[in-house]
Amino acid sequence: MITTDPEKQIPVNKEDLFKNVISHSKEYGFIFPSSEIYDGLSAVYDYGQLGVELKKNIREYWWKSMTQLHENIVGIDAAIFMHPTTWKASGHVDAFNDPLIDNKDSKKRYRADVLIDDHLAKIESKIDKEIEKAAKRFGETFDAKMYRSTNPRVLEYQKKIEEISGRFKTALTNNDLVEVKQIIIDCEIVCPVSGSRNWTDVRQFNLMFSTQMGSVSEDAGTIYLRPETAQGIFVNFLNVQKSGRMKIPFGIAQTGKAFRNEIVARQFIFRMREFEQMEMQFFVKPGTEMDWYAYWKEARMKWHTSLGSPMDKYRFHDHIKLAHYANAACDIEFEFPFGFKELEGIHSRTDFDLKSHEQHSGKKLQYFDPEENKNYVPYVVETSIGLDRMFLALLSDAYKNEVLEDGTIRDVLNLPAFLAPVKAAILPLVKKDGLPEKAKEIMNILKFDHLCHYDEKDSIGKRYRRQDAIGTPFCITIDHETTDPSSANYNTVTIRHRDTMRQERVKVDQLPGIIEEKVSMKKALKSLEA
Ligand code: GAP
């Protein structure tokens, strides 16, 4: 568990925290808006020099936890472009839709389901306010649960929520878009920009990006940018099973880009049009899928909580309305600065995908089970997490503003040390007297194992602040005693710990061991097996 002193932290409201995280990301080279010199591209972002390191470390932790810790999970790297029939078989051509609606006055486009969800959230927040007010009024004796179940105004709001969500669920199940529009009208939902209720009809919008393969004059065909990496795993199921002599149960893991033409793209890197997924499909014997579903729910939650955020930042959300291919599904939600939202999905996908690919390709995608002495199409339990969302979860939780004893403020990212982009900063106290040369010597020892920063500009205090702000776990300062053979501290340096700001004098040859102990991924991986 990472600790900076909570007493020192400056309380900020969640909206400001989110704004601060976005500007911090840009200021320090984690994330930039894509093609910013042309005013950016909506919901597309670039990772900068530090962002790319943090992202790589998160990916590596996921990858190792899957492929290195499980003898029966192997990785692949399938192409982004796939045969177009893949997407017919997976159901994405026909059903990967969001219901959209336009406001005729503002010309703004919205997801109809998001407008309704936001409306429900507003009613929910009215309930919260009633409870808050009552809690103040009644003091310590207040029983929130009792108040919720008896107060007439709260009950009225609750009834409204149930009515609307019931109607909405039925409308979605029946694909009744006229009813979805009627709900928007009945709820008197207005366009946040124009304030008007002048809505178009609701229509379905397919989220896949398409392009042409081959020149137009040739036999050009429409192909899609993959909206999920999972299908690259399904179509390679038999290749991997046979070439790797894999026995069921076994898994195939993959990380890579996915693309979705999201209608409502907001909340920074939470919902992007180009993003990265880390997915694992676990192939199991039919009838055992619920046991494996429970196993992966627990294993994935353990992975998340090994990263040091408090347990109450995570929760499971079971899907009530299941996708046509699933017989169980849930999300691991994280408390982002804008509330609890989906971070990862765990789905029991039955044999839907493999069977559908069998039908569309005419090729058998079956496994011969030597114990059962028969062929079958395996069932699949999937774990699917967005790398960018994981990045945002870590960054927003790690970002702190602290008031120090002298009244100054430091921005600090208390990221898990093994994920931090830079592991150590090498800082000569002054730019002369042979100190830079000694610092470079130390840099040359450490750089083969870790990404280190050398910095000789500005005061040592300012340099510490810069490193705190990017989450560097160690600052190593080289001073005159380090290079003075007559000093008792000859060949020693000061090492400063990011979270506690504690400083200690250590021998140069102890540095590799001290740093390795703290930044190695091994400890975190071991905790997953505990
Ligand atoms: N193969 C299953 C699948 O793709 P999903 O719930 O649509 O399931 C899985 O996506 C994860 O991918 C989500 O939990 C989220 O972390 C991430 N994700 C989905 N859409 C995203 C987007 N537009 N931007 C960023 N991450 C996204």
Domain with residue 386: its CATH number is 3.30.930.10
Q: For the residues 508-517, what does the mean pLDDT come to?
A: 97
> Using an 8 Å Cβ cutoff, are 59 and 75 in contact?
no
Q: Inform me whether the pLDDT recorded for 290 exceeds 60.
A: yes
Q: Inform me whether the pLDDT recorded for 223 exceeds 60.
A: yes
* Residues 264 and 385 both lie in one domain: yes
* Residues 222 and 235 both lie in one domain: yes
Question: How confident is the model over 136-168, as pLDDT tens digits?
Answer: 888 888 888 889 899 999 999 999 999 999 999
Rounded Cα distance, 182 and 168, in Å: 10
Domain boundary among 134, 168, 203: 203
Q: What DSSP state is assigned to residue 511?
A: H
* Residues 257 and 367 both lie in one domain: yes
- Ligand 1 atom nearest to CA at 229: 1
What is the residue-wise DSSP string for 341-410? Answer: EEEEEEEEEETHHHHHHHHHH-----EEETTTTEEEPPEEEEEEEEHHHHHHHHHHHHEEEEE-TTS-EE
Residue 220 resides in a domain: yes
* Residues 251 and 175 both lie in one domain: no
* Residues 438 and 450 both lie in one domain: yes
Q: How far is the CA of 207 from the centre of ligand 1 (A)?
A: 12
Q: For the residues 361-390, what does the mean pLDDT come to?
A: 97
Strands 452-454 and 424-428: parallel
Per-residue pLDDT band for 320 (boundaries 50, 70, 90) equals confident
**Centroid of chain to Cα 322:** 22
Bridge partners, 74 (sequence order): 252
Q: Which residues contact 311 (CB under 8 A, 6 or more apart)?
A: 305
End-to-end CA distance of the chain: 16
CATH number for 156: 3.30.40.230
Probe residue for ligand 1, chosen from 342, 346, 353, 391 as the CB with the greatest number of ligand atoms within 8 Å: 342
Residue 343 resides in a domain: yes
At residue 513, the pLDDT reads 97
* CB atoms near residue 126 (< 10 Å): 15
Residue 337 resides in a domain: yes
Q: For the residues 522-530, what does the mean pLDDT come to?
A: 94
* Residues 316 and 216 both lie in one domain: yes
Q: Which residues contact 455 (CB under 8 A, 6 or more apart)?
A: 425, 426, 427, 463, 466, 467
At residue 9, the pLDDT reads 74
Q: How far is the CA of 259 from the centre of ligand 1 (A)?
A: 10
Q: What DSSP state is assigned to residue 429?
A: S
- Ligand 1 atom nearest to CA at 272: 24
User: If you average pLDDT over every residue of the chain, what do you get?
Assistant: 94
Rounded Cα distance, 142 and 529, in Å: 43
Q: Inform me whether the pLDDT recorded for 482 exceeds 90.
A: yes
At residue 264, the pLDDT reads 77
Q: Is 490 left (phi over 0), alpha (psi -120 to 50) or beta?
A: beta
Q: Which residues contact 386 (CB under 8 A, 6 or more apart)?
A: 275, 276, 277, 278, 343, 344
At residue 11, the pLDDT reads 67
Q: For the residues 6-10, what does the mean pLDDT come to?
A: 68
Q: For the residues 309-329, what does the mean pLDDT come to?
A: 89
- Ligand 1 atom nearest to CA at 390: 16
* Tokens found for residue 103: 């406001």
Q: For the residues 290-311, what does the mean pLDDT come to?
A: 96
At residue 217, the pLDDT reads 53
Q: Inform me whether the pLDDT recorded for 525 exceeds 70.
A: yes
At residue 7, the pLDDT reads 65
Q: How far is the CA of 333 from the centre of ligand 1 (A)?
A: 12
Domain boundary among 170, 185, 203: 203
Bridge partners, 504 (sequence order): 495
Residue 2 resides in a domain: no
At residue 219, the pLDDT reads 54
Q: How far is the CA of 342 from the centre of ligand 1 (A)?
A: 8
Q: For the residues 337-354, what does the mean pLDDT come to?
A: 96
Q: Which residues contact 382 (CB under 8 A, 6 or more apart)?
A: 230, 279, 280, 281, 282, 345, 346, 347, 348, 349
Domain boundary among 203, 220, 251: 203
- The better pLDDT of the pair 9, 71 is held by 71
Probe residue for ligand 1, chosen from 264, 275, 321 as the CB with the greatest number of ligand atoms within 8 Å: 275
Q: How far is the CA of 386 from the centre of ligand 1 (A)?
A: 5
Write phi, then psi, for 317 (nearest 5 degrees). Answer: -130, 110
Rounded Cα distance, 90 and 177, in Å: 23
Residue 247 resides in a domain: yes
* Residues 154 and 302 both lie in one domain: no
- Ligand 1 atom nearest to CA at 345: 14
Q: Inform me whether the pLDDT recorded for 517 exceeds 90.
A: yes
Q: How far is the CA of 231 from the centre of ligand 1 (A)?
A: 14
Q: For the residues 191-209, what does the mean pLDDT come to?
A: 95
- The better pLDDT of the pair 309, 435 is held by 435
At residue 1, the pLDDT reads 37
* CB atoms near residue 33 (< 10 Å): 18
Q: For the residues 110-117, what does the mean pLDDT come to?
A: 92
Q: Inform me whether the pLDDT recorded for 215 exceeds 80.
A: no
* Residues 261 and 369 both lie in one domain: yes
Bridge partners, 374 (sequence order): 369
* Residues 172 and 293 both lie in one domain: no
- Number of domains within the chain: 3
3-state secondary structure (DSSP) of residue 260: coil
Residue 427 resides in a domain: yes
Per-residue pLDDT band for 385 (boundaries 50, 70, 90) equals very high
Q: Is 214 left (phi over 0), alpha (psi -120 to 50) or beta?
A: left
Residue list, ligand 1 pocket, CB within 6 Å = 228, 230, 260, 262, 271-272, 275, 277, 279, 342-345, 382, 384-386, 388-389
Q: How far is the CA of 385 from the centre of ligand 1 (A)?
A: 6
Nearest alpha carbon, ligand 1 atom 12: 386
- As a whole-number percent, the residues of the chain with pLDDT over 70 amount to 97
Residue 105 resides in a domain: yes
Rounded Cα distance, 135 and 147, in Å: 9
- Give Cα separations from 354 to 46, 86, 164, 365, 378 (angstroms): 35, 11, 37, 6, 8
Probe residue for ligand 1, chosen from 384, 385, 388, 392 as the CB with the greatest number of ligand atoms within 8 Å: 384
Q: Inform me whether the pLDDT recorded for 85 exceeds 80.
A: yes
Residue 20 resides in a domain: no
CA nearest to 112, candidates 65, 39, 164 = 164
Q: For the residues 412-430, what does the mean pLDDT come to?
A: 97
* Residues 237 and 189 both lie in one domain: no
> Using an 8 Å Cβ cutoff, are 349 and 343 in contact?
no
What is the residue-wise DSSP string for 262-301? Answer: -SS--TGGGS-SEEEEEEEEEEE-TT-HHHHHHHHHHHHH
Range ranked top by mean pLDDT from 170-179, 404-413, 481-490: 481-490
Probe residue for ligand 1, chosen from 235, 263, 277 as the CB with the greatest number of ligand atoms within 8 Å: 277
Q: For the residues 435-453, what does the mean pLDDT come to?
A: 97
Look-up of token digits 């009792």: 146
* Domain span including residue 477: 417-527
Rounded Cα distance, 105 and 197, in Å: 9
* Residues 381 and 519 both lie in one domain: no
What angle do helix axes 152-173 and 112-138 make, rounded to 10 degrees?
160
CA nearest to 345, candidates 405, 269, 436, 279 = 279
- As a whole-number percent, the residues of the chain with pLDDT over 90 amount to 84
At residue 221, the pLDDT reads 83
Q: Inform me whether the pLDDT recorded for 3 exceeds 50.
A: no
Rounded Cα distance, 388 and 395, in Å: 10
* Residues 278 and 372 both lie in one domain: yes
Q: For the residues 377-404, what does the mean pLDDT come to?
A: 96
